[in-house]
Structure 1
Amino acid sequence: MRAKDEFGPEYVLEVFDAKTGMQGVLVIDNTARGAGKGGMRMVPDVTTEEVMGLARAMTWKNALADIPFGGAKAGIKFDPKSPQKEAAIRAFADKVKVFIPHFYIAGPDMNTTEKEMGQFANQIGDMRATTGKPASMGGLPHELGSTGYGVALCIKTAVEFQGKKLNGMTVAIEGFGNVGTFAMKFLSEWGAKVVAVSDSKGVIYDTDGLNYDALMKTKAETGTVTAHGKGKVLPAADLFKLPVDILIPGARPNVITDANVNDVKAKIVAEAANIPMTYEVEKKLMKRGILVLPDFLANAGGVISSYCETMGWDEKKMFATVTEKITNNTKLVMQRAKDHDTRAAALAIAKERVIEGMKRKGWRK
């Protein structure tokens, strides 16, 4: 099992429900800055160790985002395609109820959406149990695009910090789901030229630039961006080799590895996905003068939106808060980064904020 340290975890709870066969784990890593906040995923092979690692990542992410949440994560070991899915969600809610909402607040994650968040909150009997709920339950659904907007804004802020302009810069985006689509929408509106987008079927590449509305129409009608008439279709792996200014890995983990790191030609890599590469691989990019915007900086729009939901704020105030936090934190990381090591700078800022919270609570001197 993952080692414990001065930061946590505070609680590791493993649960089982005999009726559904549901097994689950809740890890509350650190609550120095507030209730532990992190997604609730449902996958058949989730492990306690994996959830512990994800909970720690949320401690740093929420601290760097500068929102009053600690870090936590929940994993339900269950087939998400099972007709018993709702029963498993409700059973898990019953088992962890004692921790909610003062120690844990859930959110959507792998195979859980606003629908499951609604079921979870209903079962707990407290709307504060989760964020990402349906709008009818006072939620600010992630479908509003806060994460993709945050990724685009992080890039824009970093580019302007370097004294450059986003206008005319070329972009390649891996993944055309919720995050990728909104990142493309806002980057295009701000003058960048998105030339390549991928999904599970492959890459569509057009050096003249891809039109956002037209590509959304293609995806909706055919289920894949590769059916877009305009442009060239390439294998998915080729996206990372394209001669673009900005590369956005936004789908799967560990897509940039030792095997293809030297193929990356982009000047900026913005991590919209969680852990699209290891720190060792990031350092190889940084050594070549490539700016890496780490995942827990670039994709924090979603957790900032979650905070806004707990405050009862509307969509307008949520976007204003995401704008303020992402802009300030990106500038802070850029200022602090030594030898271009943005991850080390971001982690140092997050740790300082958590330690400050621990001191306030009298947990350390």
Structure 2
Amino acid sequence: MTLTQNPGDGRAPCGAGSRTDVSPRTDPYTRSDPFDRPPEHEVAWTDPVTGARGWLVVHTLVGGLATGGTRMRAGCTRDEVADLARCMATKTAAFGLPVGGAKAGLDLDPRSPGALGVLERFFADLRPWLERSWVTAEDLGVAQSDLDAVFTRLGLDQSFHAAMLRSPNPAATLERVRRGLAARDGDGLPLGDVIGGYGVAQACLAAATALGSDPARATVAIQGVGTMGGGAAWYLHEAGVRVTAIADAAGTLFHPRGLDIPALLAARDHYGEIDRAAVPADVEVLPRDAVLAAPVDLLVPAAVSYALRAESVADIAARAVVEAANSPTTPAAEERLAVRGIPVVPDFVANAGAAAWAWWLLQGQVGTDPQDSFSRLRTEMQGKVAFMLDAWHTGHLLPRRSAWGFAAANLEALAGREITIP
């Protein structure tokens, strides 16, 4: 295991590049990303048993703490993890959370035998970070239940361990957080599993309103039906929005009058793929990337990073993109979308619901009543999206860049602040 301080820039899609093809009145397009700087800390790791590689990148510490999930996928790279850590730092700042941003990743297929053993050895070697400075959670390829099992075996209680130690009564705080995590929404779903998707749904509803559409008449296509995409689909369906296209690894399902989202989500397996035997006969089964060209108001990329590339922009028919995955749109794609008049609501706002909720829970600002959590997230998410799209319509400012503005202001306000957990 090696430790490198300030290893260099992991810049990628979260910091879209400056434009060169706009008129002088759109100069705000060239505003630089205030979070585009080298991370504060980095750990590179190699598993002594399998040779699998992993990384922890801590982009920003606030009050000595950083938060960010742990992902596992074949082909994961250091640059990917560094970019995601930077996005996480932007996300926590965008919601004014008193914590910095980090990310961890393992270059390993989560379906491979012994994957959980690799994860446990990774965390065992990173134990000093987990004990003092880094709070982690589920991410692509890693379920929260797997994290909790590994943390229990390591004697760390829960993945919020480092934050718990800031409390004057860690045992009481742990019990309060556990009660909050065990809370269920009105459909009986664990709040911690669905709050992120609920936030994406609220971002979509706000985007539809900003586009001048009645949200109940809006149409949405969602790429990915895992925790985030599936949750967004569920709550959009509940709000009366027609989800006409969804895509998993096996392909795209399309129906112009709207899909039966509850039935399709119930047919998912552990890896977020829908059993095709449960798909009604009147639903079209299309190639996986067909979801990008679906004739909808809103496109929600909720699967993998870098899914929307420059070469795919010409096929996109949506009026706006709401990013639910981490870094799903490349800088070049976002620039071309802007030329076509298609705004992108950035990931570090749209998919921040779970991170924001976890810290509200830790700080005792929400509890076991799901309506309190939904109400706060709905208010904050819709307000931020409305602000960004108003700046897009009236000031010719990319939503990502207006969001950088309020995120940077929040981070500056948090400088030097001591983090306390009640």
TM range (shorter): 0.7 to 0.9
The residue correspondences of 1:212-223 to structure 2 (distance < 5 A) are: 212-219=261-268, 223=275
Partner of 1:193: 242
Distance 1:9 1:103 in 2: 15
The residue correspondences of 1:1-365 to structure 2 (distance < 5 A) are: 2-3=8-9, 8-16=38-46, 18=48, 23-32=53-62, 35-78=65-108, 80-122=110-152, 123-127=154-158, 128-129=160-161, 139=181, 144-219=193-268, 223-224=275-276, 227-311=279-363, 313-314=367-368, 316=370, 317-337=372-392, 338-358=395-415
* 1:197 maps to amino acid: I
Distance 2:146 2:267 in 1: 29
Distance 2:57 2:105 in 1: 9
* 2:228 maps to amino acid: V
Deviates more, 1:208-217 or 1:101-110: 208-217
Distance 2:391 2:377 in 1: 21
* 1:183 maps to amino acid: A
Deviates more, 1:267-276 or 1:74-83: 74-83
Distance 2:231 2:355 in 1: 16
Distance 1:136 1:309 in 2: 6
Deviates more, 1:12-21 or 1:345-354: 12-21
> SS where residue 145 of structure 1 aligns?
helix
Does the C-alpha gap of structure 1 residues 271 and 78 become closer, same or farther in structure 2, counting only changes over 3 Å? Answer: closer
* 2:310 maps to amino acid: D
Is the 1:38–1:72 Cα contact (8 Å) retained in structure 2? yes
Does the C-alpha gap of structure 1 residues 144 and 13 become closer, same or farther in structure 2, counting only changes over 3 Å? Answer: closer
CA deviation string 1:225-265 (max 9, x = no partner) = 88332222222222222221121122123332222212212
Does the C-alpha gap of structure 1 residues 276 and 20 become closer, same or farther in structure 2, counting only changes over 3 Å? Answer: closer
Distance 2:282 2:72 in 1: 38
* 1:227 maps to amino acid: V
Count how many residue pairs are aligned between Structure 1 and Structure 2: 360
Query: Once the 2 structures are TM-superposed, how far is the Cα of residue 195 of structure 1 from its aligned partner?
Result: 1.6
Query: Once the 2 structures are TM-superposed, how far is the Cα of residue 309 of structure 1 from its aligned partner?
Result: 4.3
Is the 2:9–2:38 Cα contact (8 Å) retained in structure 1? no
* 1:354 maps to amino acid: L
TM-score for the superposition, normalised by structure 1: 0.85
Structure possessing the higher relative contact order (Cα contacts under 8 Å, 6 or more residues apart): 2
TM-score for the superposition, normalised by structure 2: 0.75
CA deviation string 1:175-197 (max 9, x = no partner) = 22222222222222222222222
Runs (5+) with no aligned partner, structure 1: none
Does the C-alpha gap of structure 1 residues 334 and 20 become closer, same or farther in structure 2, counting only changes over 3 Å? Answer: same
Distance 1:279 1:299 in 2: 18
Distance 2:78 2:322 in 1: 29
Q: State, as a whole percentage, how many aligned pairs show the same letter.
A: 28
CA deviation string 1:65-112 (max 9, x = no partner) = 222221011223455345433433332233222223542101111221
Deviates more, 1:192-201 or 1:18-27: 18-27
* 2:140 maps to amino acid: M
Runs (5+) with no aligned partner, structure 2: 1-6, 11-34, 164-173, 183-189
Deviates more, 1:295-304 or 1:72-81: 72-81
Distance 1:345 1:206 in 2: 35
Is the 1:160–1:166 Cα contact (8 Å) retained in structure 2? yes
> SS where residue 260 of structure 1 aligns?
helix
> SS where residue 107 of structure 1 aligns?
coil
